[in-house]
A and B are shown apart, each in its own frame.
Chain A
Amino acid sequence: MHEMSLAEGIRQIVEEAARNQGFGRVRTVVLEIGQLAAVEPDSLRFCFDAVMKGGPADGAVLQIDRVPGRGWCAQCAAHVDIAELYDPCPRCGSYRVQVSGGTEMRVKELEIE
C-alpha cells in the first residue's frame, strides 16, 4: 500500500503550494502517472480521498493523466512504445528494450479558487 505514501506526498505538495501561493481551496488535482510507474491509479484514488481530508484539497477531484510507456530497443536502435516493463520491441520482437519513459509520478497542476 505505498499508494498511501504517494497520497501523503501529494498532500505535502498541495500544502506547500497553498502556503506559497496563498490560495484556500483546491478543486482539482491533476497528476501525470506513467503507464510503467509502480502505482495503481484506483488504489491512489482511494488513498487520495482519505489523505486529503482536512486540508486544502479536501473533496477535490483527482484527475489522472496517463503517460504512455516508452522504451529504447537496442536491436533497432530506436524508441518504441511499450505497455508493460516486460514487453518485447513491437518492431523486432527483441526483449532488449530499456525503459525510457512512462515511469513518471508527478503533480502536474492544481485547479484552485
Chain B
Amino acid sequence: MCNVCGCGAGETRIDGHLQEEGVRQGRPGDAPTGWRVAHAHGAVHYGHGPAGAQAPGMSQARMLSIEKGILSRNDALAEENRHWLAGRGILALNLVSSPGAGKTTLLVRTIQALQARVPVSVVEGDQQTSFDAERIRATGAPALQINTGKGCHLDALMVGQALGRLAPPAESVLLIENVGNLVCPAAFDLGERAKVVVLSVTEGDDKPLKYPDMFAAASLMLINKTDLLPYVDFNVDKAIDFALRVNPALVVIPVSATTGAGFDAWLDWVGAHLDEARAAARLPAGLAVDGGA
C-alpha cells in the first residue's frame, strides 16, 4: 500500500510509489486507458488492480470457452525446436541479461575454451547491427545474427528459422544470445534446455528483486565482471541472497569474462548439461524427445 496516500498495492511503481485503482469493478462505462497520472503528490505508476471491466449485455450473447495460453503458438514452436535439438543431442542455452552485462565477451571466451572439445554455434539477437555476430565469427564459430527491429526479444519462430540456417551438428553446443533486456525474454520459450541470466557487478546487486521474472525463469546465474569488484559497490552475497529469494533452485557462478576467473565452474556446468543432452538423444526414440526444461 502506498505510504503517502494509502492507495492499493500494485506491481510496478514510479518513484517507488503507488497509484490509485484506475479501473473499478463492474462499471461498464469505465474504459481503461494505458496509463494514468493520479495523485496530487505527482506519482504515476502502471498496471495493477483488479482490471475487471465487465461487459454490458452479457446475457444477450453466448460465452465460448477457449482455455488457451496466450503464448501457445510460441510455446508450440518452442517445443518443435526442443524436439529437434533433443533428437540431435544438442545443448541449447538461452543467455539473457541487461544490455552491457558482458554476454558477448562471455560467449567469445566460452567458445575459445570449448571449441577444441565440442563444436559451438551461436545465434545472436539484437535490435540492429551484426556487430556481435562478427565478434563471434572472429573466434571461428559459426554465428547467425537475428535483428529483431523494434522487437524486444527473440521468439521461438526466429530461433527455429535460425536452426534451419545454422544447422548445428549433432551433440554440439548452441548458444543463443538474446536481446539485451531483463524483462521480455523471460516470457518467451525458445526451446532451450536452460536460461542463463548474466548479472554484472557494474549493475545493482538488487536487480534480482527489481526484475524478478528473469531470475525466476533462469536455471543458472552468472555474476560477471568480478574483476571489477574492488572498484564498485556491489555486494555479491546480497545479490545471491536476492536471487535465491526469487528462485530457490537457481545455481550461481561468479565469473570474469575478462580474466577467466570462475570459468572452470561455468565450463563444468555446460559440460554436465551437454552430457545430459547427449545421453538423452542416445536413449530409444520416444524416451529421448523430452529434452528437459
**B152, A104: Cβ atoms closer than 8 Å:** no
**B51, A110: Cβ atoms closer than 8 Å:** no
Cα of A21 to Cα of B64 in the assembled complex, Å: 9
Q: Is B32 on the interface with A (CB-CB < 8 A)? A: yes
| Contacting residues, chain B, for A52 (C-beta < 8 A) | none
Type the 1/0 row for A83-102, where 1 means its CB is closer than 8 Å to any CB of B. Answer: 11110100000011111000
Type the 1/0 row for B208-225, where 1 means its CB is closer than 8 Å to any CB of A. Answer: 110011011000000000
Within the complex, the shortest CB–CB distance from A100 to chain B, in Å, comes to: 12
Main secondary structure of the interface of A (DSSP, over half): mixed
**A111, B183: Cβ atoms closer than 8 Å:** no
Count of interface residues, chain A, beta-carbon cutoff 8 Å: 51
Within the complex, the shortest CB–CB distance from B251 to chain A, in Å, comes to: 14
**A108, B248: Cβ atoms closer than 8 Å:** no
Please tell me which one of the listed residues A66, A74, A98, A111 contacts residue B51 in the complex, with CB atoms under 8 A apart.
A66
Type the 1/0 row for A21-34, where 1 means its CB is closer than 8 Å to any CB of B. Answer: 10100011011000
Within the complex, the shortest CB–CB distance from A89 to chain B, in Å, comes to: 11
Give A contacts to B, CB under 8 Å: 1-2, 5-6, 9-10, 12-13, 17, 21, 23, 27-28, 30-31, 38-46, 61-66, 74, 83-86, 88, 95-99, 104-113
Known: A110-B63, A111-B62; 4 extra A-B contacts, CB below 8 A, are A6-B187, A62-B53, A97-B248, A112-B63
Give B contacts to A, CB under 8 Å: 9, 11-12, 22, 32-35, 46-58, 60-74, 151-153, 155, 183-184, 186-188, 208-209, 212-213, 215-216, 242, 244-249
